[in-house]
């Protein structure tokens, strides 16, 4: 579903380029809504593919890396479509104002609705954790660090869904008992 959502966005418009960059940043870095909307333009280094985020809940700064596809989407948004503005935030409304968490939620809702997928910032964050576990093989400690959790309790909640699905998938494949 994440792939379907990303592929549905036309980046040949200001809104499309911004929205695709937003979705990829969340899926790649698992930022909270407030962390994303508070992300400053000067906190992102596209060339080195990393960003410095201020973790809201634990009040510390954290350097996070992102993949090439996210860097490309950010470059398209910044170089071609980001409006001129006195605001320092990376992501802006189409008329150059700061993006609020409510507006972010509305953007994601509308993008999801257009593709028949339920989407909100928290769900994308949750999906990011699951994808890191399932597709990139991250362990719980690494995911905990990515999510900015101070303890593993909340992280287990995020990756439990990935673990349950992985177990179901494992039992769909032939096992040693099938060879007895």
**Residue 75 in contact with residue 66, Cβ under 8 Å?**
no
pLDDT of residue 164: 54
**What is the CATH number assigned to the segment(s) 2-172?**
1.10.443.10
- Residue 62 burial (10 A CB sphere; 0-12, 13-18, 19+): middle
- The arrangement of strands across the sheet holding 50-55 comes to 44-45, 50-55, 60-65
pLDDT of residue 163: 55
For every one of its 180 residues, what pLDDT tens digit does the chain have, with 9 covering 90 and above? 889 999 999 999 999 999 999 999 999 999 999 999 999 999 999 999 999 998 877 678 999 999 999 999 999 999 999 999 999 999 999 999 999 999 999 999 999 999 999 999 999 998 988 888 888 888 888 888 888 877 777 777 766 665 555 544 544 555 444 453
pLDDT of residue 177: 45
pLDDT of residue 180: 36
> Tokens representing 56?
């809201």
**pTM recorded for the entire structure:** 0.84
Pair type for strands 60-65 and 50-55: antiparallel
pLDDT of residue 26: 97
Whole-angstrom distance, CA of residue 170 vs CA of residue 164: 10
E strands along 68-122, which residues? none
**Residue 122 in contact with residue 36, Cβ under 8 Å?**
no
pLDDT of residue 58: 66
pLDDT of residue 44: 98
Whole-angstrom distance, CA of residue 108 vs CA of residue 94: 15
pLDDT of residue 21: 98
> Tokens representing 14?
């200001």
DSSP symbol at 40? B
pLDDT of residue 158: 66
Q: Where are the domains of the chain?
A: 2-172
């Amino acid at each position: 579903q994440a792939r379907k959502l990303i592929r549905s966005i036309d980046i040949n418009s200001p809104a499309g380029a911004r929205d695709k960059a937003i979705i990829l940043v969340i899926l790649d870095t698992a930022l909270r809504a407030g962390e994303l909307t508070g992300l400053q333009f000067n906190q992102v280094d596209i060339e080195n593919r990393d960003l410095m985020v201020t973790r809201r809940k634990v009040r510390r700064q954290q350097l996070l890396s992102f993949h090439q596809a996210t860097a490309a989407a950010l470059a398209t948004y910044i170089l071609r479509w980001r409006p001129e503005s006195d605001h320092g935030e990376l992501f802006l409304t189409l008329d150059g104002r700061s993006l609020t968490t409510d507006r972010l939620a509305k953007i994601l809702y509308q993008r999801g609705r257009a593709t028949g997928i339920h989407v909100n910032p928290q769900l994308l964050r949750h999906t990011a954790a699951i994808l890191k576990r399932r597709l990139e093989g991250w362990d719980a400690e690494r995911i905990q660090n990515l999510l900015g959790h101070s303890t593993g309790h909340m992280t287990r909640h995020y990756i439990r869904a990935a673990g349950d699905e992985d177990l179901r998938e494992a039992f769909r494949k032939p096992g040693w008992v099938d060879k007895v």
